[in-house]
Structure 1
């Protein structure tokens, strides 16, 4: 699955940010916006959600729970990353979690379809991964632009 490889490659793209200064990574990208490290923490938290709440239920014909309220989920993500000591630790956790998530996706039957509550369906693995791949790319571009790398 080509999308899955791109999804995994994003872990490496985000890990490049370890070479940037803490001030680059902890300064908000714009007024009233998150910092790059908070954005990475946000993506990490979505990966954890997928790994813990969705992957175990991804079976052919299954109905998966609705995606969480985005505002609440993002608030929880910011609380979650408070446990980390520094930005490298968050990035390392993101890369590790993404690799685990990709491994779990690889173990699923590629032909399954499923429903996600409150979402137009059906979903395939490819459709699900594409949503989060696009999400990665959107945020990666935001970060690159904010640190003058685009």
Structure 2
């Protein structure tokens, strides 16, 4: 079990909570022209978390086969952005923190055997917990840095 990766993975929760006081006009403003707003980025992260929770991590924790299948990323991401814009800022941040917390709790409760085992998704592709975490920590970092740059740029305008 990689404690550094788990800590980095969990760091999304305080970041999401820090956005609770973001003004609504910033929350829905594109990070850059043609880019998503903060709300869509958070919705995107939360729904990917929910997807992996339901299709991979919970089944691993329960000793069941993974139900994860190849996903059409663009359609999934469009749905995530639309979902994020359909609910309140506080509700989305609550969901984001809750799903990541559940993932973190399940991951930290896994035995070393489950942590290091080789798994296959429903399409027969290999799935490794550590690789999943590395990918998502990197994915989070990319998006959170975008939001941080946006916030820093917005505060220098005012």
* TM-score, with length taken from structure 2: 0.80
| Bigger CA radius of gyration | 2
Describe the superposition over 1:102-121 as per-residue Cα deviations: whole angstroms up to 9, x where unpaired. Answer: 112223322212234485x4
Give the Å deviation of 1:64.
5.5
In 2: Cα distance, 1:68 partner to 1:92 partner:
25
Gaps of 5+ in 1: none
In 1: Cα distance, 2:73 partner to 2:22 partner:
29
Distance 1:104 1:63, change over 3 A: closer
Size of the alignment, in residue pairs? 145
The corresponding residue for 1:99 is 101
In 2: Cα distance, 1:48 partner to 1:63 partner:
14
In 2: Cα distance, 1:46 partner to 1:67 partner:
13
The corresponding residue for 1:79 is 82
Cα RMSD, aligned residues only: 2.2
Contact 1:41/1:81, CA 8 A, preserved across alignment = yes
In 1: Cα distance, 2:98 partner to 2:11 partner:
12
Runs of 4+ off more than 6 Å: none
Give the Å deviation of 1:83.
4.0
State yes or no: 1:144 paired with 2:148: yes
The corresponding residue for 1:42 is 44
Match of 1:135 among 117, 135, 139: 139
Range with greater deviation from structure 2 (20-29 or 108-117):
108-117
Distance 1:55 1:88, change over 3 A: same
Describe the superposition over 1:4-41 as per-residue Cα deviations: whole angstroms up to 9, x where unpaired. Answer: 12101221122211122111111001111100111001
The corresponding residue for 1:13 is 15
In 2: Cα distance, 1:118 partner to 1:141 partner:
34
Gaps of 5+ in 2: 154-158
